[in-house]
Amino acid sequence: MSKVTVVGAGKYGSTTVQRIAESDIVDEVVMTDIVEGLPQGLALDMNQSRPVVGYRTLVTGTNDYADTAGSDVVVITAGLPRKPGMSRMDLLEVNAKIVREVTEQLMAQSPDAIFIVVTNPLDQMTTLTAEVAGLPRNRVMGQAGVLDSARFAHFISEKADIDILEVEAITLGSHGATMVPVPSQCRVGGKPLTEVFDEATIDELVERTRNGGAEIVGLLKTGSAYYAPSAAAASMVHAVVNDTGAVIPTCAWMTGEYGINDVYLGVPAKLGATGVTEIVELPLTAAEQAGLEEAAEAVKAKVEDLRAIGG
Ligand code: APR
């Protein structure tokens, strides 16, 4: 018996619910939002797809947190998405207010849940959720690295003209400007990325990955990406619900790994039923290690911005 709650029935939330439901790994997915009728309507629609797609998971749409009680995993997507020209930082104030309130409501119903945060700006919202929830830090994590790594893999496969499933790519660090791609750990058809492309080409791919979200925002005009983001969030839910121990790039609390402490940072983490069970230390090059340390400092500075707005 397992139950997952997704808060926010917007693009990101509803596609995450759909992906979790269609993978048929939990009994119930609760989708909640402040907009009346929205989660209920989407849930009804999804439930009616079950005999066609062939899965049993029931989706409950609600505006009442009582329905989320006893969730094993909660995913927070509530908040405003970025508009064209808007940085993740611009979102800070408005989304901090939403995430604080949502976390309080969730904790009142599901104090034993594992929290996965996706609302931007991601690093601050994950920090805020952990503080408001008061849970051990391994039980609160953020999604960014799966998405950034997937975007990097897509751009590599396109450039190399190779099957996407032959590409292994990984990014660490923060979601945004201080994202740290890790070319030394990337493989293309089994070969190291650094043997397939020259430095300038890798830099070009990294730059496009770093701006991956903004590129989509610019094209869509309204709203931000959600297909790859929801796939990323659902993969983390899957690892926790099925206690798989999969190593997944995760925004996780650092306790000395990579020589970094007391900050939420994107690192490879083993995920299971208790949340982050281990942070995996990859052998990084000096430049990659320096990039990770720089990202940690950048996130710490951003957390100060959160303090400045009373978060
Ligand atoms: N409680 C519950 N839901 C809320 C709350 C709240 N307090 N405030 C807003 N919401 C809901 C909105 O009603 C809306 O349905 O959150 C949903 C957000 O949906 P979208 O606007 O479609 O945004 P989406 O693309 O889903 O992105 C959500 O993920 O990637 C990040 O930057 C993005 O922070 C944003 C979040």
In the chain, domain spans? 3-142, 145-308
pLDDT tens for residues 153-170? 999 999 999 999 999 999
SS3 273: coil
From 80, 92, 222, mutation site for ligand 1 pocket: most ligand atoms within 8 A of C-beta: 80
pLDDT beyond 70 at 299: yes
- Which residues are CB-neighbours of 108 under 8 A, at least 6 positions away? 65
Residue type, 205: L
1: pLDDT confidence band, cut at 50, 70 and 90?
low
Answer with the residue of higher pLDDT: 97 or 310. 97
Which of 3.40.50.10470, 3.90.650.10, 3.30.1330.60, 3.90.110.10 is the CATH number of 145-308? Answer: 3.90.110.10
88 in Cβ contact with 108 (< 8 Å): no
- pTM for this model (two decimals): 0.96
The domain 3-142: what is its CATH number? 3.40.50.720
Catalytic residue ranges: 175
Q: Which two tokens stand for residue 100?
A: 């604080």
Q: How far is the C-alpha of 278 from the C-alpha of 269, rounded, in Å?
A: 6
Nearest ligand 1 atom, CA 78: 16
Percent of the chain scoring above 90 in pLDDT = 88
> DSSP 3-state assignment of 74?
strand
Rg (C-alpha) for the chain, rounded Å, is 19
Which atom of ligand 1 sits closest to the CA of residue 38?
Answer: 15
**In the numeric block, which tokens belong to residue 52?**
């066609």
Three-state SS for 163? coil
d(CA 95, ligand 1 centre) in Å: 9
Q: What is the pLDDT of residue 306?
A: 87
pLDDT at 87 over 90: no
Tokens coding 158: 């396109």
pLDDT at 81: 73
